[in-house]
Amino acid sequence: MLKAAIVGATGIVGQQFIVALKNHPWIEIVALAASEKSVNSSYRKAITDTQSGALRWFCKEAPIEEIMDLPVQNATDLSTGGIDIVFSAVDSGPAKILEPLYAATTPVISTASAFRYEKDVPIIIPGINPEHMQLLKVQQQSRGWKGFIAPQPNCTTVGLAISLKPILQEYGLNSVIMTSMQAISGAGRSPGVLGIDIIDNIIPYIPGEEEKVQLETQKILGSFSGHSIDPATFKISSTCTRVNVRDGHTESVFFSTQKPCNVVGVIKAMREFSGSFVKSELPSVPQNMIIVRDDPFRPQPRLDCDADNGMATVVGRIREDDVLENGIKYILVSHNTKMGAARGAVLTAEVLIQSGYIS
């Protein structure tokens, strides 16, 4: 069993890591870390509200019982001796400082955006861009680290990059236009989205989100040249909004391809693509990378975000688009806190283990 530490363990993403690693056959949690104010107590005590006695545990799934008695260490002082993987669930600010400390000795899989846009840092989605893993070696050399930092994509990027991959492969992509309707769990809890702001409403702006989605999609679908990644050259533009949905980002996508394509071909490409990677024997791999629904009323976030344990991207309403050249439009739903965060990071860890990057 590989030994894992979770940093940012008291927050919502940290807790999702704890759930994602429950009964994991390859990885066990041996250390928890958080910011200074939570340390020097058991995990149970650290997440107990002192006034009401209530447990500040935010996942529907119950916590791992053994975890509750682990001590919570100060993230700044966390010793990586005996740790094989660090899962980092902290915000981008602290990530910038903390993650290099750990990466000096140990692989770090992170949900923070802090290092995503650095030249020597790949954004890996298992099954989509496995060759980008090689950039981790470049990173190790250039930074003199024994470990590395492997950040997850933004939760809004994940479903988009996955569903575009078979199109890119089969037809080449000219351009992508996307409008997202994002779930509130994506904003976390500090501060998160207030009920009085989102009830009976849409918030049409998520600072920084559109830039992230655009950059990351091009990077993830780019090609590895041997020492760096050349971003994909298709143009991409997005508008990101917040809607009153708890879990599951919905995206309305329009794309233009280089070669002529049609609805039947796109459905076929997506369905066939879905089957290859998932034959790998990774514990968290979904049965399908992409599920294409025929029912025109699907995908719906409440009904579809949990497909394949929240790890599949569910696509529907694939139709021709008259505006773009070789244009097709579709809708996707992707679970923003499962494939789009902690579970996706665990899947990345698995593929890195399988490929020998973590051992």
Identify whether the C-beta of residue 268 lies closer than 8 Å to the C-beta of residue 171: no
Q: Residue 16: which H helix or E strand, with range?
A: helix 12-20
Judged by CB under 8 A, does residue 50 bind a copy of itself? no
Judged by CB under 8 A, does residue 53 bind a copy of itself? yes
Q: Dmax over Cα atoms in the chain, in whole Å? A: 63
Least distance between a copy of itself and beta carbon 323 (Å): 4
End-to-end CA distance of the chain: 10
Judged by CB under 8 A, does residue 62 bind a copy of itself? no
The residue within the footprint of a copy of itself, chosen from 104, 231, 303, 355 (CB under 8 A), is 303
Identify whether the C-beta of residue 335 lies closer than 8 Å to the C-beta of residue 248: yes
Judged by CB under 8 A, does residue 244 bind a copy of itself? yes
The single-letter DSSP state of residue 270 is H
Identify whether the C-beta of residue 330 lies closer than 8 Å to the C-beta of residue 164: no
Judged by CB under 8 A, does residue 252 bind a copy of itself? yes
Query: Crossing angle, helix 342-354 and helix 12-20, to 10 degrees?
Result: 50
Which span (125-133, 240-248, 261-269, 338-346) binds a copy of itself, by CB under 8 A?
Answer: 240-248
Where in the sequence numbering do the catalytic residues fall?
155, 249
Judged by CB under 8 A, does residue 321 bind a copy of itself? yes
The 3-state DSSP class for residue 127 equals coil
Judged by CB under 8 A, does residue 203 bind a copy of itself? yes
The residue within the footprint of a copy of itself, chosen from 144, 226, 281, 297 (CB under 8 A), is 297
Binding mask 124-153 for a copy of itself (x = CB under 8 A): ------------------------------
Number of residues counted as binding a copy of itself (CB under 8 A): 62
The residue within the footprint of a copy of itself, chosen from 13, 173, 184, 282 (CB under 8 A), is 184
Which span (85-93, 116-124, 161-169, 188-196) binds a copy of itself, by CB under 8 A?
Answer: 188-196
Tokens of residue 52, six digits: 């009401």
Question: How does strand 327-334 pair with strand 249-257?
Answer: antiparallel
Neighbours of 208 (CB within 10 A): 11
Judged by CB under 8 A, does residue 269 bind a copy of itself? no
Question: 317 phi and psi, to 5 degrees?
Answer: 55, 40
Q: Which of 316, 179, 299, 320 is nearest to 248 (CA)?
A: 299
Residues in touch with a copy of itself (CB under 8 A): 51-55, 58, 60, 175-177, 179, 181, 184-185, 189, 191-205, 207, 235-237, 239, 241, 243-246, 250, 252, 254, 294-303, 316-317, 321-324, 327, 329, 331
